[in-house]
Amino acid sequence: MAQQQKQEPEIPYLTRTQVLVAMGVTAILLWIVAKLWLQFGNFSLMSWRWEERELLWGVLLGLGITALSGLAYRLWLPYRRSANYYLEMVLKPLALPDLIWLGLLPGLSEELLFRGVMLPAFGFSHVAVIISSICFGILHLSGSQQWPYVIWASVVGIFLGYSALLSGNLLVPIVAHILTNLISSYFWKIGQSQIIKN
């Protein structure tokens, strides 16, 4: 029986500091793109209000996306390989407290651009959700073999896009995104530490 080769990253492994700096720089770049688009576009940022009901919807959506991601991870082998590749590159060097930044920075900056700016820019429509979701998925492309991860990120983008569209409140996808990142990354880190112990 031939042994499966572990997929080596096309980008070299990063240190903890490099991952944290990359997350910060990416968040700033996305924020700048969002601000410039708002400055020169003829539309307003999607509104967001702190309301308990929307906060609860965001939490429930985040838990639902996390559960579906876990299911996809278990049942869809190409996605599992792709996710492991991506998560090993991003999460492996991080300490558990760093996961807070992994939740907050992408959760805020990506939602600002992909749901807060793109949805109103493209007219709060089904087409706007699809376009913003595909762009969101492509942002997660870290190598030529990573298409399953991009496809899944695009599907997640559709959930987040429709949550924003239906609620009219950017708080819902922000909370869902932050929670999904926190829970998924935590379980992946714990799973990896158990593999190492065994």
pLDDT tens column, 14-70: 899 999 999 999 999 999 999 999 999 999 999 999 999 999 999 999 999 999 999
| Cα 114 versus chain centre, distance | 11
111 within 8 A of 177, measured Cβ to Cβ: yes
89 within 8 A of 11, measured Cβ to Cβ: yes
pLDDT of residue 3: 45
Tokens found for residue 95 = 């300490």
Closest CA to 46 of 174, 158, 138, 133: 174
Phi and psi, residue 135, nearest 5°: -60, -40
Q: Has residue 168 got a pLDDT over 50?
A: yes
Closest CA to 9 of 65, 101, 134, 93: 93
The domain spans of the chain are 58-193
Sign for the CA dihedral angle at 68, 73, 77, 81 comes to: positive
Tokens found for residue 118 = 């793109």
Closest CA to 83 of 158, 187, 196: 187
Of 17-21, 123-127, 159-163, 193-197, the least confident: 193-197
The owner of tokens 């910060």 is 24
Tokens found for residue 101 = 């930044």
| Cα 77 versus chain centre, distance | 20
Cα–Cα distance between 5 and 185 in angstroms, integer? 24
pLDDT of residue 11: 56
pLDDT of residue 198: 60
pLDDT of residue 87: 87
List pLDDT tens digits, range 99-148: 999 999 999 999 999 999 999 999 999 999 999 999 999 999 887 788 99
Q: Has residue 2 got a pLDDT over 80?
A: no
pLDDT of residue 144: 78
Mean per-residue pLDDT for 174-193?
92
